[in-house]
Amino acid sequence: MPVIDVIIRKAERLVSGTERTKEMSTARTIAKAAGFLIAANLISRILGFLRDAIIAGLFGQGSVTDAYNVAFVLPDLLYWLLVGGVLSSAFIPVLSEYIARNNEEEGWQVVSSVINITLLILSIFIIIALVFAEQFIHLLAPGLNENLNLAVQLMRIILFQPLILAMSGLSMGILNSYKIFWPSALGSVLYNVCVIVCGPLLADRLGIAGFAVGVVVGAAANFLVQIPALQKVGFRYQLSINWRHPSVQRIASLALPIILCFALNQVQVMVNANLGSSLSEGSITALYYANRLSQLPVGIFAVAIAMAVFPTITEQAALQQWDNFRIMSSRAIRMVMFITIPISIGMVVLRYPLIRVLFQHGKFTAEDTLMTAIPLVFFALGIVAQAIIQVLPRMFYALQDTWTPALVGILAMLVNLTGALILIRPMAHGGLALANMIASFVNMLLLIIILHRRLGKIDGRNLLMTFFKTALISVLFGAVVWLWSVWLTTMLGTGIISALLILVTGSLLGLLLFTLTAGLLRMEEFTQTVGLLRYRLKFKAGAKKQS
């Protein structure tokens, strides 16, 4: 018996050691993917703001830029309806199963059918939209008045974008299923580069339509850069449609609730555009710029972490490794909290110098800065909820449950619409932003509650501790940064140079105080974030040596 006990103990240690090795390997893979996506998204977002800054400088914040932003509503609606829902909720999980089972040949048949069906339906809708573009713009934003025709012209150009983005989005889904993330990340960078180059070059002849042409060129670059990676993984496209294949039907059934949710969310976007067009000139653009600023940390950090962890939690759910599923999901959410809460507070405190540095030049005036700062307060306060929402629905998708997040999203959308109608009168465009913030928190809290009931436990204690610790530190040092910015503004004024100095020194001061305190408190999320950064630096250094 003692010998048997020794053998059993050694076997247990060997198994547990193997499991720890696998867990560490998985963590390193996710860290590598998240780190690369964060770096690529950071570059892409910086280029995106450079693009917006160029547009603001050339055209200011008025009815022309309102028309430009309205022109994106229908193309975005078509993309998210026919590609976004399929990609995020069904395409990757189903393809990941085929890869895990080494049945890629059948997987390519399913992928080809989904691609062909999507592109066929999307092409039909685009043709209809091109014909009825004028009627749609009249219905969407009647308050544009003299620039209604400009919005129609811009939308007809931009309508070619969703078809090309559909191909790049589906390509991204294929590569992400293989845990290959760099081609799509590089594509998003090239997208913004093309807009930045084409827009100013064509602006003299085409006006703001030059940027619309750049959008289409950028979408093409986004797709083309992914083709070599598709060939490398062995993708075999087939010009066929098998409507009756069980996996094609399963993807359709999984995607249906998300498509409905996206449709209602776009109705919300349309209502906001309609309400915004009835307000003072430039309100739609002010909302757009403020929302873009608030989406910066969401796009750079939250989306990257969520995309990196999604294939792994999908595999864990398929293998019913529920403890690993909860641990991995909790780590992702806590890291998102730890990164985005201080950014949220910092953006509220430094909103004026931030807007001045990015946009206040050329035809973008100090009054436009004040107008944009109002909705930015509410959008910024909703950053943490928006960021966590990038992770939570993917947990349901990994469980192949797409109806729950869709229904919760519909409820949140109704809250947003009700709040917008109530708050627009006393708060104008600021009320639309506040309604969005409230709806984001409702969405987040309901998803967390339902997940807790579904899984039995979701590491709630650690999630709450991370939230309250991070929020407390952020608010305390946000107050210090605010006092610093007020003092510097009194000393230096509100010029661009002083705004840049306030923004840089305030950001560095807040970052220094936050990281020192989080390190002293030995927060696990601080260690994970530092480890992620160290891994990225080592990875880059190793790549340079190899090259």
Condensed to tens digits (0 to 9), the pLDDT of residues 410-454 reads 899 899 999 999 999 999 999 999 999 999 999 999 999 999 999
Ranges of H-type helices in 60-160: 63-70, 73-79, 85-86, 92-100, 104-131, 133-140, 148-158
Using 50, 70 and 90 to split pLDDT, how confident is the model at 11? very low
Closest CA to 250 of 447, 409, 95, 83: 95
pLDDT in tens, 109-118: 888 888 898 8
Lowest mean pLDDT among 174-188, 256-270, 393-407: 256-270
DSSP three-state, residue 320 = coil
Helix (H, G, I), strand (E, B) or coil at 445: helix
The model's pLDDT over 296-309, given as tens digits with 9 standing for 90+, comes to 889 878 887 887 78
Q: What would the pLDDT profile of 486-541 be if each residue is shown by its tens digit?
A: 999 999 888 889 999 999 999 999 999 999 999 888 888 887 777 655 544 443 44
Q: What is the pLDDT of residue 333?
A: 94
pLDDT of residue 169: 82
pLDDT of 378 reads: 97
DSSP codes joined into one string, 238-282 = -S---TT-HHHHHHHHHHHHHHHHHHHHHHHHHHHHHHHHTSSTT
CA distances from 450 to 401, 440, 483 (A): 12, 16, 41
Tell me the per-residue pLDDT of 25-78, one tens digit each, with 9 for 90 and over.
555 666 666 666 677 777 888 888 899 999 999 999 888 999 999 999 899 888
The pLDDT, as a whole number, for residue 195 is 95
- Indicate whether 90 pLDDT > 90: no
What was the pLDDT predicted at 177? 75
The pLDDT value recorded for residue 7 is 30
The answer to whether the pTM exceeds 0.85 is no
Tell me which residue of 368, 57, 49 sits closest to 200, measured CA to CA: 57
Query: How high is the pLDDT of residue 213?
Result: 96
Question: What pLDDT, in 10s, does the model give residues 451-488?
Answer: 999 988 888 889 999 999 999 999 999 999 999 999 99
Task: Check residue 27 and give its pLDDT.
Answer: 56
Q: Looking at residue 457, what DSSP letter applies?
A: -
Check pLDDT > 70 for residue 4: no
Q: Which of 230-234, 373-377, 513-517 is predicted most confidently? A: 373-377
pLDDT, position 31:
62
Average model confidence (pLDDT) across the chain: 84
Q: How confident is the model at residue 338 (pLDDT cuts 50, 70, 90)?
A: very high
Q: Quick check: 58 and 141 in contact, CB under 8 A?
A: no
pLDDT for the residue numbered 479: 96
Q: Other CB atoms closer than 10 Å to residue 135's CB: what's the count?
A: 10
Task: State the pLDDT confidence band at 294, using cuts at 50, 70 and 90.
Answer: very high
Query: What is the average per-residue pLDDT within 379-389?
Result: 96
Predicted pLDDT at 475: 96
Identify the band that residue 1 occupies on the pLDDT scale cut at 50, 70 and 90.
very low
Determine the residue type at 181.
F
Reported as type and span, the H/E element at residue 167 is helix 161-177
Assign 329 a pLDDT band (cuts: 50, 70, 90): very high
Look at residue 9 in the predicted model and tell me its pLDDT: 42
**Residue closest to 312 by CA, chosen among 32, 2, 112:** 32
pLDDT in the model for residue 148: 87
Whole-number Å distance between alpha carbons of 360 and 51: 14
